[in-house]
Structure 1
């Protein structure tokens, strides 16, 4: 081999070695990036699988697929606060096409989830009636328990229109 050819061969070998060193550096950086990304990817994957495996409340299971889908999407939305979820679900479950039995069970399901405001069952100006309703509402563990207590003292309401409207909204079966 001529000295010029040998020199070119040495240059090529040196370049190849430099490129190997650069490739090793790049692979090391890629490995560290992969190590950083992998836990995040696994976390997203686990959250996605958890959403798929949601155990639906019993009242939703007999509903049609659209209602189940809407309930699941709202209920598993991590960006919505509970009050927002309930507001959306209230709208969905108040639609007339939603079967009465499912609406009734939804109202029971919803009752313990938000007690931030007492239902307006009396005239807005009558504080005595609000004083009666508030302790029953805050102390009740279920919609049926609260409704029964209110029904038992219905005579305290001078105008029972709001009470009747509330009973209808909650899909309860009390009648005078």
Structure 2
């Protein structure tokens, strides 16, 4: 639940007083619950409550909204609370705090603000506080911050006897918010500086080979100067505690320069603790074994990757 907000926590009284309040457009949509709409109107338009008390009440009402409506509410609400910078960067370095202050002061658009913050993620020592802010503002998914990054598409070929089949097939991947998701999307778009001399790392042409009995994977060795090495953690070869299901995709940067992607093909298994889930396949190929009792795992080659 979002924290209770009011004048002492950044409610912009001057913005509020610019004009007589009118019902925001998102509350006029047919998908909005009629009772919630009536309560919203009574509090925001007709009540004589202070700004602080109005928004405290509206915040409570927003907890009863579906996700999409609540997200629109948070976007609409944002310009009313511009007199105080959110505190998620309070414990960060002064330069980063100043950057957040400048970003916050330069926009009236919550989505733009969060999009910029997403690109600053690597600079945060405490990423959890930033994620908590995204969650409180209903901006926790990459597709919320980057509407044009709707899905990732891979075109692929099955491998047999070390050779790719002639027939191509494709999968659509839904990104899942994580500390590595933005990096994954940049690799998929071939728009990154993770490779040698700042070149782009990409997965096109790589072959996912059998890794154990449950998944396929491949890994790349990054240059020591790659920005991704900052996210490296020790490889947890003896710790398999992360649950997964068929179609889950995991990424890991470990032992400083090793980048590994794993595609899970079966249900009911756990993967290494250093792996981070970054996506889910929406159209799981029929050929995936899926059953946790199956002993088959199918290698395949990624022909190309796209953001669609």
Same fold (TM over 0.5): yes
**Aligned CA distance change for structure 1 residues 78 and 66 (closer, same or farther; 3 Å):** closer
2:218 aligns with none
Shift of 1:78: 4.8
TM-score of the two chains, using structure 1 as the length reference:
0.61
1:88 aligns with 2:88: no
TM-score of the two chains, using structure 2 as the length reference:
0.37
8 A contact 1:71–1:89 mirrored in 2: yes
Work out the CA distance in 1 between the residues paired with 2:74 and 2:104: 14
Larger CA Rg, structure 1 vs 2: 1
Shift of 1:164: 0.6
- Residue segments in structure 2 that go unaligned for 5+ positions in a row: 1-19, 143-176, 182-308
- After superposition, where does 1:89-168 map in structure 2 within 5 Å? 89-93=58-62, 95=63, 97-124=64-91, 126-168=93-135
- Residue segments in structure 1 that go unaligned for 5+ positions in a row: 1-50
Work out the CA distance in 2 between the residues paired with 1:89 and 1:155: 34
- Structure with bigger strand share is 2
- Structure with bigger helix share is 1
1:69 aligns with 38
Aligned length: 122
**148-157 or 72-81, which deviates more:** 72-81
Work out the CA distance in 1 between the residues paired with 2:92 and 2:56: 26
- Root mean square deviation of aligned Cα: 2.2
